[in-house]
Amino acid sequence: MTAPLLVAAQPQASFVPDSAGGDFIQLRDVYKSYGEGLVVMDHLNLDMRADDRLVIIGPSGSGKSSLLRVMMGLESIQGGTISFQGKSYIDGNARNHGKPLDVRLQTQVGMVFQHYTLFPHLSVLSNLILAPMKVHGLSKVQATEKARLFLARLGLESKLNAYPSQLSGGQKQRVAIARALMLEPKLMLFDEVTSALDPEMVTEVQNVMMQLAEEKMAMIIVTHDMHFARNIASRVVFCANGKVVEQGPPAQIFTQPKEPRTREFLEKVLHLD
């Protein structure tokens, strides 16, 4: 067996995969709204296994991004519970208003955003080693060594001392992925990471994600790229109005959707392609 390229070799915690729904992540009855009018998570239930790659699709305003932002601890929920690796992670009724209860669990989640979030005043290397040094307490030598490794595997060695302004959009997103991987997350969240890219740069970023998929990284991906969704997903989840309408293997969802709403949505977006 070859060594994993991007995911640091590590035992998958104390977690034992579950053949049924999966207890890597369990969302139960999760409720979130922005005021009265806009309910983005309406008593949502969702399960995920440690080797799952969920791709969430659905019309805009259906709460796809909200789900990721909640998992990352960027936004709170108003009801329900979320467990992560078998431990209570977020509780909508807790005193901290539905934000992550456990900072250690939170640091095991990594996220890449739609817009470029590399810090422009820091070189690629400094972007990569900032959090490992300040949060995980790695020495500069250790962190730099690790950063070299990740960049080399992404074919970005030569950009070690470049500044984000000197990179193409695709390179920026790849560095952003490397920056998140530096913290050895157990779960990666991708929020429309190729939406802001020029078409010719989309593939290089998607390839990195495919590489991660091959190494069994748990991922939740929000994307509008149905072709990519089909390739990378272990399970596609169609959300609308804050609820999971339908979920299943990509082949089933894309060719024989059961729900009329799923079919309607897919006809629209696939027609646009």
Binding site for another protein (CB under 8 A): 69, 72-74, 103, 106-107, 109-111, 113, 115-117, 119-121, 130-131, 134-135, 165-166, 179-180, 183
Residues in the chain: 273
* Closer to another protein by Cβ: residue 9 or 103: 103
Cβ-defined contacts of 249-252 (< 8 Å, 24+): 250/55
Do residues 112 and 173 make contact, with C-beta atoms less than 8 angstroms apart?
Answer: yes
* Closer to another protein by Cβ: residue 78 or 106: 106
* CB 177, min distance to another protein, A: 12
* Closer to another protein by Cβ: residue 3 or 103: 103
* Cα(244)–Cα(58) distance, integer angstroms: 9
* CB 248, min distance to another protein, A: 29
DSSP 158: G
* Closer to another protein by Cβ: residue 154 or 167: 167
* CB 141, min distance to another protein, A: 19
* CB 28, min distance to another protein, A: 24
- The span from the first CA to the last CA of the chain, in angstroms, equals 39
Do residues 55 and 229 make contact, with C-beta atoms less than 8 angstroms apart?
Answer: yes
* Closer to another protein by Cβ: residue 134 or 227: 134
* Cα(161)–Cα(138) distance, integer angstroms: 20
* CB 118, min distance to another protein, A: 8
* Closer to another protein by Cβ: residue 74 or 266: 74
Amino acid at 94: A
Structure tokens at 259: 């729900």
Do residues 159 and 118 make contact, with C-beta atoms less than 8 angstroms apart?
Answer: no
**158: phi then psi, degrees, rounded to nearest 5:** -65, -15
* CB 3, min distance to another protein, A: 25
* CB 178, min distance to another protein, A: 12
Do residues 242 and 41 make contact, with C-beta atoms less than 8 angstroms apart?
Answer: yes
- Only one residue has tokens 């027609």, namely 271
* Closer to another protein by Cβ: residue 107 or 252: 107
* Cα(108)–Cα(84) distance, integer angstroms: 10
